[in-house]
Amino acid sequence: MTVTDEKSQVRRKAMAVLADSDTAEIAGRLAGIAMPAHENLREPENGLVMVRGRIGGDGAPFNLGEATVSRAAVRLATGEVGFGYALGRDRKKAQVSALCDALIQASDHADAVENQVLAPLRATVLSQRKRKAAETAATRVDFYTMVRGEG
C-alpha cells in the first residue's frame, strides 16, 4: 500500500465515523482543539445523490432512489484541504466534518483530532452498533425438536 493509500484509508475511516455521528457531538469535541486559520473552499451546500442498489443484491447496478446530502470543503492556512460529506441536510455537519478531514491531514493536529474527536465518537458509534446487534441477537430463533420416548 502506498503512502497516499494509507492516508486515504485513515481519512475514509474518519469520514465514516463522522458521518455516523451527531453534529453537536462533533462540534462540541472539535471546540476543544485549538483551531488553526482556515477558509471555506466550498460553502456548505445541500444536494442529492442517486442511491444505487444491485439487481439480486450482487448483480448489475440500478437506481433505487435519491438521498439528501450535505457537503463542504475547507482549506487550512497551511494548505491542507478537507472535505465533508454527510447524508441529510445538515450543512453544519458537512462543515465540521470537512474541518476534521483537513486537520487529520495536518501533522500538527492529527493526533489531537484522533484522540479528542474521532476516538470518543468511534466509541459511541461502536457501542450503539453493539447494542443494536445484541438486541437483534435476542430475537434469533432457537429451533428445538420434540423427542418422543427414550431414544
Binding site for other proteins (CB under 8 A): 8, 11-12, 15-16, 19-20, 46-69, 71, 73, 83, 85-89, 129-141, 143
**What's the grid cell of residue 17?**
465515523
Rounded least distance, CB 21 to other proteins, Å:
9
Cβ proximity to other proteins, 34 vs 92, nearer residue = 92
Rounded least distance, CB 107 to other proteins, Å:
20
Rounded least distance, CB 84 to other proteins, Å:
9
Helix, strand, or coil here: 103? helix
Cβ proximity to other proteins, 83 vs 92, nearer residue = 83
Rounded least distance, CB 26 to other proteins, Å:
13
Helix, strand, or coil here: 134? helix
CA distance 105 to 127: 27
H/E stretch holding 54 reads strand 38-54
Of 130, 127, 121, 103, nearest in space to 34 by CA:
103
What lies within 8 Å, CB to CB, of 88 at 6+ separation is: 68, 69, 70
